[in-house]
Amino acid sequence: MLLDAEDSQLVLVDYQDRLMPVIHESEAVLRNALRLGRLAQLLEVPAWGTEQNPDKLGQNPAELRALCRKTLAKMHFSGVADGLTDLLRAPARPQQGGNARSLPKHLQKAPQPQEQRNTIVVAGCEAHVCLLQTALDLLEEEFDVWVVTDACSSRTERNRDAAFDRLAGAGAELVTTEMVAFEWLRTAEHEAFRDVQALIK
């Protein structure tokens, strides 16, 4: 099974100012998070961010925030507990044509839900706390969850790797930034191929 850009959304978890300096391999991890955000923008994949207790831990970098449709401030470790699922579920389509409100209720058409994007590509910090709990809750909400390992970390490698083991055991797919890029593209003939290639190099 390959990732499909048209069925994907991206969630970037807690790359915050006061947290990143203590994160293992933080520069590479943040660089890959920014790549993911730019890939999502190029390929029209909706991207969302989260920030854990931003008053204490600061915000995500401005460049990363700019790539997200919205950044959710949260106090729970899982973004799902503070409303992430509501952002990921598509809103109902507005009613089309005419003044439907003037029709009797029994003749009005119910709003039709848009096709949902059920594949969530997720990356973030700390892998064994906020990323893990968010990803596990997304699996519980019946999303397909793909964790981008080279854009995730914790303060220690041991905690990061334990998170990956647990996520894989729970049914999440483990991928890398380049795997996401080339699966979203599918072909070298894609109109965004050169731009994506430039991001990866």
Confidence (pTM): 0.88
* Torsion sign over Cα 52, 55, 57, 63: positive
Enter the DSSP assignment of 51: E
Distance between CA 117 and CA 91 in Å, rounded?
11
Q: Using the structure block, give the residue that is written with the tokens 């989260």.
A: 50
Confidence of residue 116 (pLDDT cuts 50, 70, 90): confident
Q: Domains in the chain, please, with CATH?
A: 5-88+115-200 (3.40.50.850)
Mean pLDDT of the chain: 92
User: Hey, what amino acid is at 77?
Assistant: F
**Structure token digits, residue 103:** 């029709």
15 and 124 Cβ atoms separated by less than 8 Å:
yes
d(CA 38, CA 9): 13
Q: What's the pLDDT tens digit per position in 167-182?
A: 999 999 999 999 999 9
